[in-house]
A and B are shown apart, each in its own frame.
Chain A
Amino acid sequence: MSKPKKFFTYAFLILATLISIFPFLWMITSSTNMSVDVTKGRLLPGSHLFDNVRNLFNSVDMWQALWNSAKISIVTTILSLLVASAAGYGFEIYRSRAKDIVFNILLASMMIPFAAIMVPLYQMFAKVSSVIPFFGIDTASAVILPTFTTAFLIFFFRQSSKMFPKDLLEAGRMDGLTEIGLFFKIYMPTMKSTYAAAAIITFLSSWNNYLWPLIVLQSPENMTVPLLISNLGSGYAPDYGMIMSAIVITTLPTALVFFVMQKHFVAGMTGSVK
């Protein structure tokens, strides 16, 4: 690289990095400061982190929200992985013309905006409420059901399955494994990294989901973390320090997951569109 170009490249990337990281830094330092100091524009860390966290847990049921979010995200992730990987495998290994048509129809669902179906979905679950309350409005199941199957994840598993060594299946059949056995005993262990990537993508989107839980969850004790944060932020005289500590607590698991599994995450996002 020529000198001026080099200078420009680093200057630009450093600027982009600062802009990307600044809201994180501000959020973290604010969570350690009193609300007054945050409004004064204090950028240095303070000593009020524990006060803020204590205030948070005293004024809202943060544990309950964390538990609700964890429950929904974990169940969604497990179900998603099972269903999408089986489908991706089914479409790729047992190919037929008819299945290709079905696959394309399923893919078309990726184009359906959620805003377009949220009203009928709400009505559907409102009706279910009176018959089977467990699956109706204001339950974790109602959050999970419409979100655990996505065409995107099926597409992702199918794409990744293209690289799966199919000879292994023949060998398995020779050894007397059933078709279902092949999937659980040969495919699943071989595709570990694909599962890891898919798990991260699904967990993040479930943990961060806002609109559908907002519609379907109504009582405070069923609230997920994003709903709680949104409510905290809508107050008239917000306690900035406390709200920032809540946001740090909710961002921590996802940021941690991202840092630990960064390679899989990036590969998972890009591998699916190659």
Chain B
Amino acid sequence: MVSQRRINITGWLFILVPVLAISLFYFYPMIQALILSFKSGRGMNLDFVGFDNYIRLFQDSNFITAVKNTFIYLIIQVPVMLVLAIFIAVLLNDDNLKFKGFFRTAIFLPTVTSLVAYSVVFKYMFGGDGIVNKMLMNFHLISEPIQWISDPFWAKVTIIIAITWRFTGYNMIFYLSSLQNIDKSVYEAARIDGANAFTQFFKITIPLLKPMILFTTITSTIGTLQLFDEVVNITKGGPGNSTMSISQYIYNLSFEYTPDFGYAATVSYSIVVMVIILTLIQNKIGGDKK
């Protein structure tokens, strides 16, 4: 028999590389970013400025616009997408449904595209003389082209449509796997008790999906707070700054404008704070019956 001590040491060896890598490439930069957020200056020449960056943050209209935009995406897009995903998953979970595999594959397909590739496709589809306007006009739904990309309101709508197209199928798969784990006899019993489809959905399906709803809400929230590829490739953040996301603003502060890594790090910490607060809220609402 191999000695317990040796086995124990081997156990640590197996996890050594990721412990080192995650410490070096995730936790260490987190600490660096915190230190950096108290510094300011151009490029690599940075001086300590105390809380100046944090004071600047609250007076920075670009930052406030980016936060507003990001929250508009968050508040509108995430609920719409998740409701849609649950709805489709419930429809697809019906045993009597034909072509189930086909529908599932088709609706999941957007997930395999690269964010950049689909963003560029959407940019052209929603252009002034793009195919979407042409189709809407052919069906006489609109009388003149909508300025999807160049109008501040419609540009946000375009981004929201794009993200919903890309990620609904992804979330749908998680719900579908949860639904398939629910014992059918639960519904059987409810039907005998006279519960209609509505009651079954709200009294059985939704409560049983709760952990998955929590999981997808958190991952979608974190994803939306980091939104970058779509805004950069569909609208470049414009018109004006009307679609700019927080991540894009951090990128601009570091690599587009005169680099101020210190202030960029301060802005990036605002995302960390938002992730923590929103996750805590969601856990409180979603995880109370654990």
Contacts and interface: CB of A to CB of B under 8 A. Distances in A.
A91 B21 contact: no
Interface string A119-135: 11111101000000000
Given A9-B91, A17-B107, A83-B18, A204 B10 contact: no
A24 B36 CA distance: 43
Given A148-B21, A183-B14, A273-B215, A208 B250 contact: no
A204 B165 CA distance: 18
Interface string B235-253: 0100000000011001100
A20 interface: yes
Given A118-B254, A119-B254, A145-B25, A113 B272 contact: yes
B41 interface: no
B92 A1 contact: no
Contacts of A151: 18, 22
A4 interface: no
B251 A211 contact: yes
Interface string B266-277: 001101100110
B107 A20 contact: yes
B113 A233 contact: no
Contact of A215 (B8, B97, B255): B255
Interface residues of A, number: 88
Interface in A15-53: 16-17, 19-21, 23-24, 26-27, 30, 38-39, 41, 43
A204 B108 CA distance: 14
Interface in B164-182: 165, 169-170, 173-174, 176-177, 181
Nearest to A174: B1
A87 B14 contact: yes
Interface in A75-126: 83-84, 86-87, 89-91, 93-94, 96, 99, 102, 106, 109, 111-124, 126
Main secondary structure of the interface of A (DSSP, over half): helix
B192 interface: no
Contacts of B49: none
A68 B17 CA distance: 25
A84 B18 contact: yes
Nearest to A225: B114
A222 interface: no
Contacts of A122: 254
B7 interface: yes
B117 interface: yes
Given A86-B14, A123-B261, A254-B112, A210 B229 contact: yes
Contacts of B229: 210-211
Given A119-B261, A233-B120, A254-B112, A89 B14 contact: yes
Contact of B113 (A43, A86, A232, A254): A254
A196 interface: no
A208 B94 CA distance: 34
B268 A149 contact: no
B279 interface: yes
A20 B261 contact: no
The residue among B11, B18, B119, B131 with the most chain A CB atoms within 10 A of its own CB is B18
B32 A120 contact: yes
Interface in B29-53: 29-30, 32-33, 36, 44
Contacts of A120: 28-30, 32-33, 36, 265
Interface stretch (B122-130, B149-157, B199-207): B122-130
A17 B103 contact: yes
Given A109-B26, A116-B33, A120-B32, A16 B88 contact: yes
Given A113-B226, A119-B36, A211-B229, A90 B15 contact: yes
A41 B131 contact: yes
B25 A20 contact: no
Given A94-B8, A273-B215, A23 B17 contact: no
Given A23-B125, A41-B131, A94-B10, A13 B112 contact: no
15 contacts: A21-B106, A27-B121, A41-B129, A83-B18, A83-B21, A113-B225, A113-B247, A115-B246, A117-B33, A118-B250, A119-B254, A183-B14, A215-B251, A225-B114, A266-B173
Nearest 9 A/B pairs, CB to CB: A94-B11, A90-B14, A270-B177, A208-B114, A120-B32, A117-B29, A120-B29, A149-B21, A233-B120
Given A90-B12, A91-B14, A119-B33, 20 more contacts: A1-B96, A21-B109, A23-B110, A26-B125, A102-B15, A112-B30, A116-B269, A116-B271, A119-B250, A119-B254, A208-B116, A211-B247, A225-B114, A233-B123, A247-B121, A254-B112, A269-B173, A270-B176, A273-B174, A273-B215
Interface of B: 1-2, 6-8, 10-15, 17-19, 21-22, 25-30, 32-33, 36, 44, 88, 91-92, 94, 96-97, 102-103, 105-110, 112-125, 129, 131, 134-135, 165, 169-170, 173-174, 176-177, 181, 212, 215, 222, 225-226, 228-229, 232-233, 236, 246-247, 250-251, 254-255, 261, 264-265, 268-269, 271-272, 275-276, 279
